[in-house]
Structure 1
Amino acid sequence: MPKLSDKKLCADSECSHPILIAKALQDYYPQDCRFIHIHKGQSVYVYAMLKDRGNLFWAGSVQGSYYGDQEARLGYFPSSVVEETHALMPAEKWDFYCY
């Protein structure tokens, strides 16, 4: 059975550098602790994208006053709630997957 991690596109082997910056088009209230809460208009740093099947979920973090002095938390969110604003790595360099 294929693993979900085999379908991830990342900037590096550890998925530790953002691929792009996106802006939230709407609020997103997750029902699961693996997902992040996003406010409309908030910047989202995208660290991993799932390829195939419509890129349904991305992994990223939000930063700003919502978290106060806490570090930003990484989690998943639907790609449909954001729009890309700044690509940080050209797509042609995505030639490997995170494991």
Structure 2
Amino acid sequence: MQLEVSLTVRALCLLVFCATGVLCTRGEEVHRLAQRKLCADEECSHPISMARALADYTAPDCRFINIRQGQIVYIYGKLKGKGRDYWQGTVQGDYFGEQSTSLGFFPKSIVREIQHLGTELVEMPTVDWDFYC
């Protein structure tokens, strides 16, 4: 009984801290970088191309990914319009240590495409989930 109460209290505290933003850095929606994007398929589930990072990049917020010079980046989306300077992709984290693989945005200027993996791109609207942390 005491264990159940303790777990309930911990869960409530965690909920309160997340609601106030004290502990949670995920679960927040931020503004869209663009309204449209290019993808290899309608689900944006296949990479468009592979690129090599030309420089280190430190993510300014939760929508972006950290990249180290020399890493291979798999590009899954290319933003259009006002956000055209940003691409969406993943890096292979295991090669450079503890960094986990995650999907995020980065400036296209810090990578050089080395291999195209598809031929035809599909233009899609961005969705809230694209910019959700």
TM-score (norm 1): 0.81
Give the helix-richer structure, 1 or 2.
Answer: 2
Stretches of structure 2 that go unaligned for 5 or more consecutive residues are: 1-31, 127-133
Across the aligned residues of Structure 1 and Structure 2, the Cα RMSD in angstroms comes to 2.3
Q: How far apart are 1:94 and its partner, in Å?
A: 1.6
1:10–1:98 CA contact under 8 A, matched in 2: no
Q: Write the deviation string for residues 30-67 of structure 1: whole angstroms up to 9, x where unpaired.
A: 12011000000000000000124583000000013336
SS in 2 for 1:80: helix
2:44–2:77 CA contact under 8 A, matched in 1: yes
SS in 1 for 2:46: coil
Alignment match, 1:65: 95
Amino acid at match of 1:51: K
Counterpart Cα distance in 2 of 1:47 and 1:39: 18
Alignment match, 2:80: 51
Superposition misfits of 4+ residues, deviation over 2 angstroms: 3-6, 51-55, 64-70
SS in 1 for 2:96: helix
Alignment match, 2:24: none
Q: How far apart are 1:23 and its partner, in Å?
A: 0.3
Query: Which protein has the larger Cα radius of gyration, Structure 1 or Structure 2?
Result: 2
Write out aligned runs for 1:12-31 (5 A). Answer: 12-31=41-60
Alignment match, 2:123: 96
- Aligned residues between the structures: 94
Please state if 1:35 is matched with 2:64. yes
2:35–2:81 CA contact under 8 A, matched in 1: no
SS in 2 for 1:65: helix
TM-score (norm 2): 0.62
Amino acid at match of 2:123: F
Give the strand-richer structure, 1 or 2.
Answer: 1
Counterpart Cα distance in 1 of 2:61 and 2:68: 16
